[in-house]
Structure 1
Amino acid sequence: MAAVVIGEALTWVGTPYRHQGSRKGVGCDCLGLLLGVWRVLYGAEPETTGPYAADWAEAGGEDRFLDAAMRHCLAKPLAGLCAGDLVLFRWRPHLPAKHAGIMVGPDRFVHAYQGSAVVVSALVPQWRRRIAGVFSFPTV
């Protein structure tokens, strides 16, 4: 399963960043990247997200991203982080998770980078300490 997730995630590299987008090669944000990969794996999105503002996580205070991941994916301990896993980030300990990526190696992940595109980044300490949750995609 991990190889399929990684393979699909890597095909999104270079897709321009577009808030609320989820179309490979056209535009996506980090949620759109996850939804696009999910559609390839399972045929449809797990739930409708509806419109959301760029600051949605700070404005509502709810941890909607983390809650949705818990509903649809399998939670894992941070120590079990591996390629093919979904990883959620929060910018500060008291804020909800707001960013996501897909691990493509032991220390590298694919994510939609605001102001740029879908890129592969190193999971450097600055990213690692912001991890809010680790999840595996459900088995097809």
Structure 2
Amino acid sequence: MNISKKILLLCVPFLLAACGSAPKQVATKVNSKPKHVARSVKPVRISHIDRDQGAQELMLHSMSLIGTPYRYGGSDTSTGFDCSGMIQFVYQNALGVALPRTARDMAAASRPIDPSRLKTGDLVFFNTGGSSKYSHVGLYIGNGEFIHAPSRKGVIRTEKMSNPYFAKRFIGAHTFFN
């Protein structure tokens, strides 16, 4: 075995260990009790795009994805999407706006709004029993409906906000628009 293969074999365990070692939370001590502090997420505010025109673009891009398969961790049309991957993809492709990757971080980067003020292009968050309060996200498309990538039934589809499953788990509306 040549020297470069030996070096590669020695490095592989360290590279693999590094992949899973990035901390998601930092533990700090406050009054001798551990407190978990989430990593900071920069706010995203859209003020350079006309709200109505941006909303229309978001809706059109998201509707073109209906029927695309669900895939955990997915973020493109060739392999499928999970809920936050779909939102991230639509905002990037429709408006050129980069969003955080997870539903939790999208909630942190956006601005909460009263659900009665929901407009097309806003985000709707749900607690579907995941490890985070914000375990599912959809894009509001108007008329009491949203589009999302659910793991159940496996494809991107629209849903009514009044659907009993989602109505019971709805935890908030947010926007990136000013």
For the residue of structure 2 that corresponds to 1:34, the secondary structure is: helix
For the residue of structure 1 that corresponds to 2:148, the secondary structure is: strand
Q: What is the deviation of 1:35? A: 1.0
1:16 equivalenced with 2:53 (yes/no): no
Q: Distance in 2 between matches of 1:22 and 1:35?
A: 8
Q: In the alignment, residue 138 of structure 2 is paired with which amino acid?
A: G
Q: Distance in 1 between matches of 2:94 and 2:107?
A: 16
When normalised by structure 1's length, the TM-score is 0.73
For the residue of structure 2 that corresponds to 1:20, the secondary structure is: coil
Tell me the residue number matched to 1:75.
112
Q: Distance in 1 between matches of 2:96 and 2:55?
A: 17
Q: In the alignment, residue 126 of structure 1 is paired with which amino acid?
A: Y
Q: Distance in 2 between matches of 1:84 and 1:46?
A: 13
Q: What is the deviation of 1:101? A: 0.6
| CA distances 1:103-128 after superposition (whole Å, capped 9, x unpaired) | 11222111112141111122223312
Q: Distance in 2 between matches of 1:132 and 1:86?
A: 11
Tell me the residue number matched to 1:112.
149
Tell me the residue number matched to 2:79.
26
Percent pairwise identity: 26
Which has more radius of gyration?
2
Indicate if the aligned counterparts of 2:107 and 2:134 stay in contact, CA closer than 8 A.
no
Long gaps (5+) in structure 2: 1-53
Distance 1:43 1:84, change over 3 A: closer
For the residue of structure 2 that corresponds to 1:88, the secondary structure is: strand
Task: Give the number of the structure with larger relative contact order, counting CA–CA contacts within 8 Å between residues 6 or more apart.
Answer: 1
Aligned pairs, number:
122
Indicate if the aligned counterparts of 2:124 and 2:140 stay in contact, CA closer than 8 A.
yes
Q: What is the deviation of 1:131? A: 1.5
Q: How does 1:43-62 map to 2 (within 5 A)?
A: 43=96, 45-47=98-100, 49=101
Tell me the residue number matched to 1:126.
165
Indicate if the aligned counterparts of 2:72 and 2:82 stay in contact, CA closer than 8 A.
yes
Distance 1:121 1:138, change over 3 A: same
Match of 2:88 among 35, 43, 46: 35
Tell me the residue number matched to 1:99.
136
Q: In the alignment, residue 72 of structure 2 is paired with which amino acid?
A: H
Q: Distance in 2 between matches of 1:8 and 1:33?
A: 10
Distance 1:106 1:9, change over 3 A: same
| CA distances 1:78-116 after superposition (whole Å, capped 9, x unpaired) | 221233221110136xx6110111111222111112141
Alpha-carbon RMSD across the aligned residues, in angstroms, is: 2.4
1:135 equivalenced with 2:168 (yes/no): no
When normalised by structure 2's length, the TM-score is 0.59
Long gaps (5+) in structure 1: 50-63
